[in-house]
Amino acid sequence: MNSNKRGLFVREDGSNLVFTFILVSSLFFMWAVCNGMIDVMDKHFQEVLHLSKSQSAWVQFAHYLGYFLMSMPAGVLATKLGYKRGIIAGLLIVAVGGFWFIPATHINAMAQEGRISMATAFIGYLAGVCVIASGLTFLETIANPYTTVLGDKRYAATRINLAQSCNGAGWILGPIIGSLFFYSKDAAGNNTGSETLYIPYVTVAIIVVLLAVVFAFAKMPDIQTEDEFHLDESNGGAEAVAGEINRPLVYGMLWLNSVTLMGACGVIVWLILQSLQLGADTVNWILGAGGAVLAIAAGVALIPFTRKVTSHSVWAHPHFTGSIMAQFLYVAAQAGIFSFFINYMTAEVPPIPHSWAAGIFQGWFETSKAGIMGLSDRGASQLASVAFVFFLAGRVSGSALVKKFPAHKVLGLYGLLNVLATLIVFLKLGWLSVACVFLSYFFMSIMFPTIFALGIHGLGARAKRASAYIVMAIMGGAVLPKLMGYVADKTDMSRGFIVPMVCFAYVAFYGFNWSKFSRSQSLTSGKSTQEARA
């Protein structure tokens, strides 16, 4: 079919997939509501269980651990089950996690009565968070790549950004729901969040069961992405393009991924050693020596692997391997900023005039013992929804931008602007820094879907398996928020923004170099750089 007859949701065969796209996009909204509630849960546990910022970050750890553990099984099952049955499996797992919050609430009640430890109650909640995340892994592994094939391939990045705009709407609603149930108080002013925390999760469980029924009867074509790199051809086809592999670049990207993973594990080990109260010199020596040995070992081990790689493997394509690390660091930055938004707004915002505490905003503020007016926990969690309005605005406008301009260049620019925004937050420049927190939401909005679309570009049937690795990279959200929390505990919340600043720097690097990594002009052109020169 002529390209001018194709459209945003119309395939080359003339099939219109707009209804399928809308149905799949509803999943993006649902899992964003779950994620949005997670991001306002940290402060609740800090208050109720008397946890530090780094300790409360175990909520994020449990959430993203579910993604890490289930990403590869989800990729394998998605390949075997297909899109439809994989989505249904994910929805049912989310339902199990949602219903688990009923017994988790009873466990917490026992802890409040002193019958069991508070740590046990906390672990009970973390188990529910992890199970829900496991189900969401199925949905993200399948839904993200599926949106890229529901129409003209030139608009793959536009479609995934549109679907993620529904995700942005869910992020707005999630904190509002969380603030109502996690920070509720009785007539005496006592926090009743632990008694009502289960309500939104059970509601989600009921909704996803109904969604599973809808998907069971819906028609969903099993479409693959185009195999632009000949990954699905016979060995002859692979050998024909084997000479095009840039082995030094492939080796470098694989080594960087390995070092990033080891660094993430190092952060966990570092936090464990810190809890053992070992001397700083001892901890630094252990991590420094161990990290150096592992980095060298990874370099040596990857040499024979890289020599055997052919273009038949997804690992031969740096735009894919680079996307794994870009997604790891982006989600790390996102999770850190989202998790500690309330902490920042309640601790770092300049003094607020008492005249602001009037009308419908009266409950947003509270006066400290020193007589200084500031945001309350509930007010800050409500303000988080305002931040997600910026996030949604970025998604919607970003969908239009990546349709008109190369997606990788937009990603690089937004990454660079977020480096600047987080640097200003780090420098503690008063209201300008506060404004830059909201701007960071806007500029990070397109990153997840755009990195995803750039990473699976041209991988054919292997896109499902490749997407599992990219979803696995979400584990970054489990690790680096703990580092951000540790920095904040030792200094202050503003200084903690040094962690996401470094993460955004790599995202910018990946975006600006994607064309070199993929040997393609852009997602929208559909032409490789070799074809463009021909």
Q: What is the residue-averaged pLDDT of the chain? A: 79
Q: Stretch 271-284: mean pLDDT, rounded?
A: 64
Give the per-residue pLDDT at 439: 96
Give the per-residue pLDDT at 243: 46
- How many CA atoms within 13 Å lie on the side-chain side of 205? 18
Domain assignment present for 430: yes
The amino acid at 192? T
Range of the domain at 189: 15-230+310-353+374-529
Interval 284-312: pLDDT, tens: 677 677 777 777 777 777 777 676 666 66
Q: Hunting for tokens 């991590």 — which residue is that?
A: 287
Q: Distance between alpha carbon 1 and the CA centroid of its chain, in Å?
A: 37
Give the per-residue pLDDT at 530: 45
Q: Stretch 261-283: mean pLDDT, rounded?
A: 66
Q: Hunting for tokens 């990954």 — which residue is that?
A: 231
- Residue bearing the bigger pLDDT, 415 or 316: 415
Domain assignment present for 52: yes
Checking if the pLDDT of 2 tops 50, the result is no
Domain assignment present for 270: no
Q: Stretch 243-264: mean pLDDT, rounded?
A: 72
- Residue bearing the bigger pLDDT, 174 or 461: 174
Q: How far, in Å, CA of 343 to CA of 275, rounded?
A: 22
Checking if the pLDDT of 496 tops 50, the result is yes
- Residue bearing the bigger pLDDT, 116 or 102: 102
Give the per-residue pLDDT at 192: 62
Domain assignment present for 332: yes
Rounded to two decimals, what is the model's pTM? 0.72
Tell me the CATH number at 125.
1.20.1250.20
Interval 121-148: pLDDT, tens: 888 888 888 899 889 888 888 888 888 7
Domain assignment present for 294: no
Q: How far, in Å, CA of 53 to CA of 342, rounded?
A: 11
Give the per-residue pLDDT at 509: 95
Interval 13-46: pLDDT, tens: 667 888 888 888 888 888 888 877 876 776 677 7
Answer positive or negative: Cα dihedral of 433, 436, 438, 441.
negative
Domain assignment present for 249: no
Give the per-residue pLDDT at 312: 65
Q: Stretch 247-270: mean pLDDT, rounded?
A: 72
| Of the listed ranges 141-150, 232-241, 348-357, 498-507, the one predicted with least confidence | 232-241
Domain assignment present for 246: no
Q: How far, in Å, CA of 21 to CA of 23, rounded?
A: 5
Q: How many domains does the chain have?
A: 1
What percentage of the chain carries pLDDT values higher than 70?
Answer: 77
Domain assignment present for 256: no
Which stretch of DSSP H or E encloses residue 317?
none
Give the per-residue pLDDT at 459: 76
In degrees and rounded to multiples of 5, residue 373 shows phi and psi of -85, 130
* SS3 assignment, position 50: coil
Interval 397-412: pLDDT, tens: 888 888 888 899 999 9
Instruction: Grade residue 525 by pLDDT with cuts at 50, 70 and 90.
Output: low
